[in-house]
Copies of this chain bind each other. A is one copy, B any other.
Amino acid sequence: MSRIDGRTPQQLRPVTIERGWSKHAEGSVLVSFGDTKVLCNASVTEGVPRWRKGSGEGWVTAEYAMLPRATNTRGDRESVKGRIGGRTHEISRLIGRSLRAVIDYKALGENTVVLDCDVLQADGGTRTAAITGAYVALADAIGWAQGHKLIKANRKPLTGTVSAVSVGIVDGTPLLDLRYEEDVRADTDMNVVCTGDGRFVEVQGTAEAEPFARDELNTLLDLATAGCTELAELQRKALEATLER
């Protein structure tokens, strides 16, 4: 089987991670997985939500959204509709949980980092691109906070790295990093979030058409784990360069 863009089943799309995209945010990354482009801005503020005050621990949260014309057909703005949809809620929560999995709250101190992940252009895999980019923005934001003495320099608020990728079974073939056209044809669709050491943070598999068997699940997990490892390496390289502010 040949994929619409000529990739092998195990191949990621071209991935770019552009740091320092916006001049305002403490961490700002424009991540692209092929034609999927997500702007991930990390905002640092001193203090924590009320329920956490006085704990000595910090907080990390995320909000995901799509521009109305990020997709092929224009979607109504959630601000105009006056309410956030279920899909938006679900993905925002997923991104937040994924990043908190590599945070040491004590080391972060009573600071809050909000990750805004806004999809500028969508072509499948927006949530996994968002997690992958948001990790880098978070790392830059923590670097900024240490540079500005909000976090002590000898603390390590990040306990690891985190990246994510989608996998799915299309026409019987397990594929890595689905484009939109592949995604809508998939029988099974799975999003996997891994730490850099190859363990799982989130595994979310859904039978879109046909229930899936244990061995199919295993094949997909193999694909996803390899993809996350590759993404972790790309994150590492992106963070090597010194960020000019």
Chain A positions within 8 Å of B, measured between CB atoms, are 22-25, 28, 35, 39, 41, 43, 45, 63, 65, 67-72, 74, 77-90, 92-93, 97, 101, 114, 116, 118, 120-122, 160, 190, 194-195, 197, 199-207, 211-214, 217, 221, 225
Contact = CB atoms under 8 A, between A and B. Distances in A.
A190 B71 CA distance: 32
Stoichiometry, as copies per complex, reads 6
A29 to B, nearest CB: 12
Contacts of A85: 89
B68 A116 contact: yes
Given A199-B213, A213-B199, A214-B200, A25 B80 contact: no
Nearest to A118: B67
Given A22-B120, A200-B214, A43 B69 contact: yes
Nearest to A93: B86
A31 to B, nearest CB: 14
Contacts of A43: 68-69, 74
Given A86-B90, A89-B90, A214-B225, 10 more contacts: A22-B121, A43-B69, A69-B116, A79-B81, A79-B88, A86-B92, A200-B213, A202-B204, A202-B207, A203-B217
